[in-house]
Chain A
Amino acid sequence: MTQAANPNEGETILKLENVHMYFGRVAALAGVDMEVKKGEIHSIIGPNGAGKTVMMNCINGLYRPQRGNIYFKGDRINHLKPYARAKLGISRTFQKIELFGGMTVLDNIRLGRHIHLKTGIVSGSIYVGKTRNEELQARKFIEEEIIDLLEIESIRHKTVHMLPYGLQKRVELGRALALNPELLLLDEPLAGLNLEEVEDMARFILDINEEERWKVTCILVEHDMGVVMDISNQVFVLNFGNKITDGTPTEVQNNPDVIKAYLGEEELYATRR
């Protein structure tokens, strides 16, 4: 715990140190090291089954790696449960949408805010003083920052399972943002979207990353190479649980190992443009 509690831009916010994750005798991650700098979009790419989602799950706490250390803002977080990590400011979206289908868009997003509410049952039921302020603030935050950003005004009272896939993805991002995260894990946010939706989503990710209000560091797992190379500051390439390289998009694109392992396969590198 030698690092500062609140890293400045360009300093390390998340660090993976020799992380091993085994399922039986299969090594999903075989000693992975990664450093994510604050304010960056750090992408993780790799062929199917490379261990990208496992890495996300380790960071977010769904999986506990058998060996290695994970540091968030300098603190080791290996032992923390997912909700505790969420409270620290690590938030995520899922490859397969994990929303509450029977609830409205607004309720789903509000749920993301729940972890920051301090109201108990008693004060919550009478809605005065602190509780009232807290509710008002939460409302203001959700309406002004999230719904406006994601342009989902017209669906705020719609039930999630009635919505098309592209909008559900947006709602999931909204819920992740309601946590007011410092680090956002995006697991294939563009998968299954049409061209227009991809453009919108890429813009939202950039907004969240760059807008003064948010400045959220993003870890992005994505197959759409066009977008990854366009918006990432760093690209981490994973293959069968091993790191191949970690560098700027240009470096990665020119790395012969990467080309051999992944990018060389023409159709995998196919972008939508």
Chain B
Amino acid sequence: MSQPQIEMTKDLTIPKLFLQQCKKYGKNKVAMREKEFGIWIPFTWHDYYENVKHLCLGMVSLGLKRGDKVAMIGDNRPEGLWAEMAALCGGGVGVWLFQDCMMDEVKYIIDHSDAKFFVGETQEEVDKALSIKDACPKLEKIIWDDPKGMRHYHQDFLISMEKVQELGKELDEKEPDLFENLIHEGQGDDICLLFYTSGTTALPKGALLSHWNMLTMGHNLMAVDPCYDSDDFVSYLPFAWIGEQMMSISCGLQIGYTLNFPEEPDTALENLREIGPHVMFAPPRLYEGMTRQVQVKYIDATWIKRKIYEFATKVGYKVANLKFEKKPVSWNWRFLHFLASVFMQKKLKDHLGMSRLRHAYTGGAAMGPDHFRFFHALGVNLKQIYGQTEIAGISIVHRDGDVKFDTVGTPIPETEVAITEEGEIISKSPSVFLGYYKNEEATEKTLADGWLYSGDRGFIDEDGHLVVFDRSKDVMTLSDGRPFSPQYLETRLKFSPFIREAWVIGDNRPFVTAVMCIDYSVVGKWADEKKLNYTSYPELSQKAEVYDLVQKQIEEANRDLPTPAKIHKFVNLYKVFDADDEELTRTSKLRRAFVENRYKDIVNALYTDDEAVHMDTTITYEDGREQRIKTDLRIQKTIL
């Protein structure tokens, strides 16, 4: 068990590293596993190599040239990673799409990126590609890998991955050196990935990242938190998210740890538990989900289990707080902590798939301090990562033993972070991207003298930790003139298991208000126990009892806040914010400008004396269908 040392040179590319690792491990080590038909199926580095080689050569014989874009969409699975690696080996550029992208997003990205190949998983993705094919003339071939439902598709630009690999095999027999020659042609400064950022305001922008960007990022992160080639990692978050690329490609390839792919997206958490990874990186949403799961199970548990849980969390919180304050933990507390660990924490961590976890990272959005503390009280080494897609995902991370729940940590090696006079966070590192694809204007706004302008407001505290306040444009001015981060309050509200989403309003307004989305399953269960009748989310959300429940959660979050920042009024929305309705980005960040416009009637009503607001609106389903909703939403005041 050692951390492999990779020498960073400008000549190194991801495919070269891939080749190096395949030769080193060969048939002796498992590169990845996928759970299929109920069994974990291993693929050695040799299998990985063979599959990528044939796929790459197949693409080449179909016309892949250096610099061509290959768009990819699908669940996390070995084939997805092979396709990406094959595209990179052939000198292509990978463009990942989110699995749940709507049609026009797919069209925009395929068209804007000039993608020549489209790699989809099943019929669903092929259908998406077919419906945009006419609008994207540069798209030449559509490759699929799962034959399910494909029996009626015979268009000549459709080809199965198996077929492509066969073509690759033929080419390999003719020109056995071709594959490695292709790899050796690459340079570190070549573009490897084109990442479409979710964009909280405008159309997605394509960030160009080079091999050098990706590799230095992984190298610098691994310098902070070493991983070993005996480690396991579970890959289940979208490849279109930079965080997943970071762990699966940049770090995964450098370290050589085993990637594990879940059977289906629905089984990911179950599979996570089976593997018990050593390292994980997930957006806050996932940790919030886990917290909610624990809180709900706690409510359901028997008396004795609840008491043990209460004791153990009390001890956990106490010890975690001492550690946060960097104070010594007395022997008494250590003993109690040991008991807590034996009787509760170990079991709970096992259920969450965290029993072997060395480092857990969260990033991509703000995480509430309550969630953060919750995991530390459980003994999980959860750390913040801060970074943008434009800096290959990471510039700042917490160090072991130096975790502060209100900061995001300190810069990784080779990275400088500074604050401009306006309070904007800027950073500089070898991983800073090359610019936006076909968007000079945006590039100029974001990049100056090698500094990346993040658009986030923050400051550096006395310990040198970066504190991210909020997106500059989201920072609110309270009635007393003080700045305030709505995100902070929202994350606190979301610590309640009953609250799924929250949207805090109050910029330059006389008081603060909120639009709340309840969690259907948790509140639904609560309502069942209270014998409340309901048939749908809209109906449940408008029950007087549910309003009182939500009010209680808000008052809890209000407690430590100064009066101008307290939520005065709220409304329960008839649905949950959804990325399909463009209310959230694909990485689940609230698009404030959009919701403000969409729900302006609600916002207006919150600042008048109205007691209800009438809504008449349409919602969109993933397949494009629309449904009209007419309903009255009640407005309720909180007790301050």
Contacts and interface: CB of A to CB of B under 8 A. Distances in A.
A148 B148 CA distance: 10
Interface in B265-285: 266-267, 270
A58 B151 CA distance: 34
Contact of B267 (A140, A148, A153, A211): A153
A211 B148 CA distance: 9
Contact of B264 (A154, A210, A211, A212): A154
A39 B127 CA distance: 26
Nearest to B123: A203
Nearest to B35: A153
A143 interface: yes
Given A203-B149, A210-B151, A154 B38 contact: no
Interface string A187-221: 00000000000000001000100111000000000
B149 A154 contact: no
A210 B267 CA distance: 28
A148 B38 CA distance: 10
Interface string A112-126: 000000000000000
Given A203-B149, A210-B151, A147 B37 contact: yes
Nearest to B267: A154
A9 to B, nearest CB: 15
A267 interface: no
B234 to A, nearest CB: 16
Contacts of A149: 148
A203 B38 CA distance: 23
A154 B37 contact: no
Interface string B145-166: 0001101000000000000000
A269 B266 CA distance: 36
A156 interface: yes
A38 to B, nearest CB: 18
A154 B266 contact: yes
Most buried by B among A143, A148, A149: A148
Contacts of A143: 37-39
A203 B151 CA distance: 13
B275 to A, nearest CB: 16
A151 B264 CA distance: 9
Nearest to A149: B148
Contacts of A147: 37-38
Contacts of B266: 153-154
B37 to A, nearest CB: 4
B263 interface: yes
A153 B39 CA distance: 11
B151 A144 contact: no
B41 to A, nearest CB: 12
A207 B38 CA distance: 22
A120 B244 CA distance: 50
A153 B267 CA distance: 7
Interface in B26-68: 37-39
Interface in A250-272: none
Contact of B263 (A140, A153, A210): A153
B151 A211 contact: yes
Nearest to A139: B38
A44 B267 CA distance: 38
Interface in B250-301: 263-264, 266-267, 270
Interface string B349-384: 000000000000000000000000000000000000
A30 to B, nearest CB: 41
Nearest to B37: A143
B599 to A, nearest CB: 26
B268 to A, nearest CB: 9
A143 B39 CA distance: 10
Nearest to A155: B266
A63 B38 CA distance: 39
A143 B151 CA distance: 21
B264 A153 contact: yes
Contacts of B263: 153
Nearest to A211: B151
Contacts of A212: 151
A212 B148 CA distance: 11
Contacts of A211: 151
Nearest to B265: A154
B528 to A, nearest CB: 14
Contacts of B38: 143, 147, 153, 156
Interface in A131-154: 140, 143-144, 147-149, 151, 153-154
A203 B149 CA distance: 9
Contact of B270 (A140, A151, A154): A154
Contacts of B264: 151, 153-154
B149 A207 contact: yes
A3 B149 CA distance: 34
Contacts of A156: 38
Contacts of A140: 37
A148 B147 CA distance: 12
B162 to A, nearest CB: 16
Contacts of B151: 210-212
Contacts of B270: 154
A198 to B, nearest CB: 13
A232 B634 CA distance: 48
A147 B270 CA distance: 17
Interface string B116-149: 0000000000000000000000000000000011
Contacts of A153: 38, 263-264, 266-267
A207 B37 CA distance: 18
Most buried by A among B38, B151, B270: B38
Contacts of A144: 37
Contacts of A151: 264
Contacts of B37: 140, 143-144, 147-148
A157 to B, nearest CB: 9
B149 to A, nearest CB: 7
A153 B38 CA distance: 8
Interface string A153-182: 110100000000000000000000000000
Interface in B156-185: none
A212 to B, nearest CB: 8
A142 to B, nearest CB: 9
Contacts of B267: 153-154
A203 B37 CA distance: 21
A140 B38 CA distance: 10
A113 to B, nearest CB: 15
A207 B148 CA distance: 9
A209 to B, nearest CB: 11
A39 to B, nearest CB: 14
Nearest to B263: A153
A161 to B, nearest CB: 16
Contacts of B149: 203, 207
B525 to A, nearest CB: 13
Nearest to A206: B149
A149 B264 CA distance: 13
A211 B152 CA distance: 10
Given A147-B38, A149-B148, 20 more contacts: A143-B37, A143-B38, A144-B37, A147-B37, A148-B37, A148-B148, A151-B264, A153-B263, A153-B264, A153-B266, A153-B267, A154-B264, A154-B266, A154-B267, A154-B270, A156-B38, A203-B149, A207-B148, A207-B149, A210-B151
Q: Which 4 A-B pairs have the closest CB atoms?
A: A154-B266, A143-B37, A154-B267, A153-B264
15 contacts: A140-B37, A143-B37, A143-B39, A148-B37, A148-B148, A153-B38, A153-B263, A153-B264, A154-B266, A156-B38, A203-B149, A207-B148, A207-B149, A210-B151, A212-B151
